[in-house]
Amino acid sequence: MDITPPVHPNINQKTKIRAYIIICLIFVFTFTVFSLISAPFGYAPTIIHISRGANLKSITEELKEKNVVRSASMLQTFVLLFQSGKAISVGDYYFNGEPVWRVGYMLAHGDHHIVPIRVTFPEGLTTEEMSNVLAKKIPSFDTEEFLRITNGQQGYLFPDTYFFYPKTTADEVVDVLQSNFAKKIKAFDSDIEKSGYTKKQILTMASILEGEARGENDINIISGILWKRLKNGMLLQVDVDRGTYSKKGLPSSPIANPGISAIKAALEPSNSPYLYYLHDKDGRVHYAVTYTEHKNNIKKYLK
C-alpha cells in the first residue's frame, strides 16, 4: 500500500513569493546604492571653488546643487572616511562625472584635478603692477578688490612664484602673499632689531634699492650711500621717488614690494667713500666721492 505525502501547494507558493521579494529587495538596494554612488545623469564638467572657512555641509550641498553628486550626505560620509584630520584644501576643483566616493577622496586629499596657474611677481613690483600681472594670468580676477584689500600693504606682499587656481579670490591671493612675506621676513627679525631701524624703514629702503640698483654688485654700495645721505641730513634724491628731491628722509612707506636681496642689502650696506652715483646709458654705475666728481660723471656719461 503506497503512502504518498500530502502536497502543500500553499507552502511552495509562499517560498516562491519570499524568494521573489528578496530578489526584488536586492535589486532595489543594488540599484539605489549604485544610483547614489554613481555620477548623476546629465552631469557636465564643472569647476567648483571652495573658499577659506567653508564647512563640509555647505560644500557637499553645493556639489549636489551643481549636479556633481546625487547625495550630499553620502558625500559627507566618504569625505570623513578618507579624511586624515586636515581641513579641505581651499581652491578650485574640477569634476567630470566621478562617482561620489572619488569626489569624496578628491576633497579629502586636496586632489583638485585641475592644473594651477603659475604666477611670478618679479622683485620690486608695485602693488598695482602685481594686480596687472594677476589680471593677465587669471582672467576673472578682481583687481579692484585686490587693490582695495592691499591698500597700505605695499612692501608687505612678497614677490615670488605662486600657483593659483582659476577662481582664486583677491582675498585668498593677498593671504598667500602676506603669509609668504611673514615667513621670509622672520629670518631678518634679529638683524632688523640690531640695525637701529624699524621694519618699515628697512622695507622702505629695500624698495628704493629695487629701483636704484640694477646689479647685485652695486646694491650694497648704493645702500651704504643712501644710508649715509640720511645720516648726513642730505636729501636722498633717488629717481624712483621724485619726492625725495624736495623732502628729507625716507618716503613715508615702501614704494614697491622688495625681495630678499634688497632687504639684505638694506641691512648690510657697504662702507665706501662714495656719496654720489649715477647709471650710464648701458646701466653701469659710476660713483663719486665729491659733488664735483659727480658733475664730471654727469657730463661724461649722460650728455
CA distance 83 to 192: 42
Q: What is the CATH number of domain 46-109?
A: 3.30.1490
Residue 244 is given by DSSP the state G
* Residue 77, C-alpha cell as written in the block: 560620509
pLDDT > 90 in the chain, percent: 60
User: What is the chain's percent helix, strand, coil content, to nearest 5?
Assistant: 50, 10, 40
Give the residue-averaged pLDDT of 174-203: 96
Is the Cβ–Cβ distance between 166 and 175 less than 8 Å? no
Longest dimension (CA), the chain: 144
Residues 6+ positions from 224 with CB-CB distance below 8 Å = 269, 270, 271, 272, 274
Domain ranges of the chain: 46-109, 117-186, 196-272
**Dihedral angle over CA of 135, 51, 99, 102, nearest 10:** 100
244-271, pLDDT tens digit by residue?
Answer: 999 999 999 999 999 999 999 999 999 9
Domains 46-109 and 117-186 fall in the same CATH topology: yes
Residues 198-213: tens digit of each pLDDT: 999 999 999 999 999 9
Sorting pLDDT into bands at 50, 70 and 90, what band is 220? very high
Listed range (9-13, 110-114, 182-186, 260-264) with the worst mean pLDDT: 9-13
Q: Where on the phi/psi map is residue 219: left (φ > 0), alpha (ψ -120 to 50), or beta?
A: alpha
CATH topology for the 117-186 domain: Dna Ligase; domain 1 (3.30.1490)
| Bridge partner residues of 119 (DSSP) | 162
**Is 0.75 surpassed by the pTM of this model?**
no
Task: List pLDDT tens digits, range 69-92.
Answer: 988 988 898 899 888 767 888 888
